[in-house]
Structure 1
Amino acid sequence: MKSIAMAFVLLLLAGCASTPTVTTDHDPSAQFGSYKTYYWARKPEGSSPLVTQRIVEGIDARLQSKGWTQEPDGDVALVANISRAQQQSIDTFYSGTGMGGWGYRGWGGMGSATTTVRNYTVGTLVVDMFDTRTKQAVWRGSASGTVPNSPEKVDAAVTAGLDKMFANFPPGS
């Protein structure tokens, strides 16, 4: 029973970790309707080259689906960064009554505790957009989540993060 409960909790944690946490922010005075072109001032680095390629292609596809085109001197400069950090979670599960070795007519008994340490990697993608005319930041999106172990799950997490990040882009549309 104890192992079933632990497996269930780990499954819940894994399910929560597979969905990236996404936030976006923008300059309310930015005129997104006037932006039609963009260029990459800095592409993301620090991850697998294949993952980086998929991130760039994913952002390009989402911007192009909004009518933006990539040009060397675009209206908006994109800067993307990737970071990875090792994290650790410690979970303790208790069984038994916790009443110790005393009790009335057999009640009580010693409880036990099982502690599980889980090491994992959290990846974060931050995409910033700058108006090339004013040199001011106009938009920021970030996605953060547990980095999966398989390439297929990494691809799914990247897709889910980018989908959420660009769901309401451009602001006010």
Structure 2
Amino acid sequence: MKLVKQLSLFAIFTLVVGCATTHKAKVNFDKNEQVNTSSYKTFAWLKESKILAAPADLNPVMKVRVDKAIENAFAAKGYKLVNSPVEADFAISYTVGSRDKIKVDSFPATYRAGFGWGRSYYGGLAVGNETHVRSYSEGKLAIDVFDVKTKQPTWHGWGVKRITSADKNDPATTIKTIVDQVVAQFN
């Protein structure tokens, strides 16, 4: 009986942890070590459109949110936004996109079977495969920094995140969080 209680508690714990799991953004960056960024004080958008290459299905409301989140994230790091890229120390741009993905998990599963039922019958257990198929969307945001004087790419930061229903319900918070995480890596 004690074993049954322990297994029940373990199952409940696993279920709670599984339901509480959030899909965090994975962020990273690449830096051009040939360019010194320590004296940067001002930034500007590389292009008037701000986005490097807009996908065909870009939501214009979402674009405005991303533009503002990027400006605010660099300003929060102490950089000043100027109007002209020629007058700035560095210029920024970004790309966004999403991709529909499918995840397939297949693993052996055991279950209780009555006498003579099921394939691979052995000692009251039938063994088979259990397959779970999930489809989801994954979004990606990449921010690029260019040195104005040398006209060299300086830094490339990106974030990738599985889009959840909570993200769809509150896109502004999701965008801000990911932008802040990506820009936090810039120095």
Query: 1: distance between equivalents of 2:18 and 2:149?
Result: 47
- Deviation for aligned residue 1:99: 8.6
- For the residue of structure 1 that corresponds to 2:46, the secondary structure is strand
Q: Runs of 4+ in structure 1 displaced over 4 angstroms?
A: none
Note the 1:26-105 alignment, pairs <5 A: 26-42=31-47, 43-44=50-51, 45-46=54-55, 47-71=58-82, 72-73=84-85, 74-92=88-106, 94-96=109-111, 100-102=120-122
**Structure 1: how far apart are the matches of 2:103 and 2:68?**
33
**Does the alignment pair 1:8 with 2:22?**
no
For residues 138-149 of structure 1, the aligned pairs below 5 Å read: 138-149=154-165
Q: Deviations over 1:148-171 (max 9, x none)?
A: 23434433332332222122432x
79-88 or 33-42: which moved more? 33-42
d(CA) in 2 for partners of 1:13 and 1:152? Answer: 18
Aligned length in residues: 161
Higher-Rg member (1/2): 2
SS of 1:129 mapped into structure 2:
strand
Q: Match for residue 120 of structure 1?
A: 136
Q: Secondary structure at the match of 1:67?
A: coil
> How far did residue 14 of structure 1 move?
7.8
Structure 1's unaligned 5+ residue stretches are: none
1: CA distance between counterparts of 2:170 and 2:71? 21
Aligned to 1:22: 27
In 2, the alpha carbon distance for the partners of 1:117 and 1:84 equals 20
* 2:178 equivalent in structure 1: 161
Q: TM-score, normalised by structure 2?
A: 0.72
Give, in whole Å, the separation in 2 of the partners of 1:137 and 1:13: 41
Segments of structure 2 that go 5 or more residues without pairing to the other structure are 1-7, 113-117
C-alpha change, 1:140 and 1:152, in structure 2 (3 Å) is same
- Name which of 142, 149, 172 aligns with 1:133: 149
CA distance in 2, matches of 1:21, 1:153: 19
Task: Answer yes or no: is the 8 Å Cα contact 1:80–1:126 preserved in 2.
Answer: yes
Displacement of 1:37 after TM fit? 1.6
The change in CA–CA distance for 1:14 and 1:124 in structure 2 (over 3 A counts) is farther
CA root-mean-square deviation: 3.0
Are the aligned partners of 2:92 and 2:146 in contact in 1 as well (CA < 8 Å)? yes
